[in-house]
Amino acid sequence: MEMPAPNTAVLSKKAKIVERLQSVLPKDAVIYDEAETRAYECDGLSAYRCPPLAAVLPSSTEEVSAVLKICHKEGVPVVPRGSGTSLAGGALPTADSIILGVARLNDVIETDYDNRVIKVQTGRTNLSVTGAVEEEDFFYAPDPSSQLACAIAGNIAMNSGGAHCLKYGVTTNNLLGVTLVMMDGTITELGGAHLDAGGLDLLGLICGSEGQLGVVTEATLRILRKPEGARPVLMGFDNNEVAGACVADIIKAGVLPVAIEFMDRPCIEATEAFAQAGYPMCEALLIVEVEGSDAEIDEQLGLIMQIARKHNPVELRESKSSDESAKIWLGRKSAFGAMGQINDYMCLDGTIPVSSLPHVLKRISEMSKEYGLDVANVFHAGDGNMHPLILFDANKPGDLELCEALGADILRLCVEVGGCLTGEHGVGIEKRDLMVDQFAADDLENQMAVKDVFDPTWLLNPSKVFPLASSESRRALAIAAE
């Protein structure tokens, strides 16, 4: 994975930069010793690593601003970092960059049930936002699988989703306001507890901008009342087309499940060996969950099962209790852990139109044979977001490269059928080079022009999202300005 060469001018003044950072932060908030910066050399995409010049851990918006001011003046690139759980390498540093970690900004600033919002510092983990409002029976809807550990800051940067986003939307649909620190240190606010933008929807632009437009230190988030209950139904099918058709029929019938999860045979087998959740050994498995009162759940599940029966499932299992619900979900929730126990794996994140699932799965199976690497598939069937898991051996020379090549081909296929490269993980570094498969040069230029407005010096996370060749002249500006 190519990364830009570090700015030697910045490298040579490391001591000065560290000193200046230490003048605005507490002593333990500046990490610059080689033994320590190593821990910040990668995020969840551990295949790519580069220790930063230093890592800073500010505890307030003002400290973040002070840090950015210094970096702006000294021409030091800044890589914001939440919990470092990104699977796309969003927090991968370069040797001349500062990692700006927001983990110490984790307070709840205000909970407001009358207006159904919560304001938090963005270093707080996703699940602990729900944790803060659970006692009042509220929750924060976007629930990426990493929600236990991932930070709201990262959720905003990547516009994270989760299994429940079919009904409740992704981060951008639940984000009402932010406190934003710009690269020159300016602190400003967008949105708030009120709805809709008063002018241009800059909040919508910031969400999903992968830490390239500003550092978000506080966020106002929508909180929702927990539904009365939820229950899943498990369906097994003996081919993928039928499973896909069943999903389409459920949607057309007007039922809006809160989640529709799909697992293919390789995934089912690996998961069952690990979690023993009692899944049927079949080609395709669907878990469909609905919410409401018991009676409403019964009604919806009744309708869903009726539709499912028309497709001759090999297994149809309705949950009638919370224990049974947990059992049905157990396998799906342990799927990635199960894979991890067998092998190293690379988790892809392409989205496809739901109708093309059978075709895409067929093609993936063919490509998997060509490359000689196994692929298991987990799929958010309601919204088309696929997670092919390519199994490989990190300690076998050449396997990583092979895996990446297969991954790239699969993502190109997603684009080919009308989908996109990434549904929730973000571009980071992982899909940078594939951006040209989805966007024309003009489209990329248009997006980069947006960054020019927010960060003319291109110091915020400059080597992400855009192919290096595309962003080269802009990144060169930052170096030239030195």
Chain residues 15-34 in contact with another protein, contact rule CB under 8 A: 28, 31, 33
205 binds another protein (CB under 8 A): yes
Which one of residues 190, 234, 282, 360 is an interface residue with another protein (CB under 8 A)? 190
Structure tokens at 365: 């199976």
Residue 7 or 85: the one with the smaller Cβ distance to another protein is 85
Choose, by CB under 8 A, the member of 107, 296, 409, 433 that binds another protein: 296
15 or 199: CB nearest another protein: 199
> What is the dihedral angle through the alpha carbons of 47, 48, 50, 55, rounded to the nearest 10 degrees?
-80
Whole-Å CA distances, 21 to 24, 32, 53, 133, 263: 6, 10, 12, 36, 48
If one asks whether residue 454 binds another protein (CB under 8 A), the answer comes out as: yes
- The reply to whether 408 sits near another protein by the rule CB under 8 A is no
Please give the C-alpha separations between residue 106 and each of 109, 120, 171, 190, in angstroms, as whole numbers. 9, 7, 18, 20
Least spacing, CB of residue 9 vs another protein, in Å: 27
Closest by CA to 229, choosing from 282, 176, 294, is: 294
Is residue 21 within 8 A of residue 56, CB to CB? The reply is yes
Burial class of residue 195, CB neighbours in 10 A (0-12, 13-18, 19+): exposed
Nearest to 266 by CA among 349, 366, 375, 342: 375
For the segment 158-187, give every residue that binds another protein (CB under 8 A).
158-159, 161, 165-166, 169-170, 172-173, 182, 186
Q: Which of 74, 241, 249, 315 lies at the binding interface for another protein (CB under 8 A)?
A: 249
Residues within window 105-134 making contact with another protein, judged by CB under 8 A: 106, 112-117, 123, 125, 127
193 lines the binding site for another protein (CB under 8 A):
yes
If one asks whether residue 384 binds another protein (CB under 8 A), the answer comes out as yes
Q: For the CB of residue 292, give the shortest distance to another protein in the complex, in Å.
A: 7
Q: Which residues from 256-295 bind another protein, rule CB under 8 A?
A: 256, 292-293, 295
Site size with another protein, rule: CB under 8 A:
132
For another protein, the closer CB: 7 or 97: 97
**196 counts as binding another protein under rule CB under 8 A:** yes
- Whole-number CA gyration radius for the chain: 23
Alpha carbon of 127 to those of 133, 143, 206, 370: distances in Å? 10, 8, 22, 40
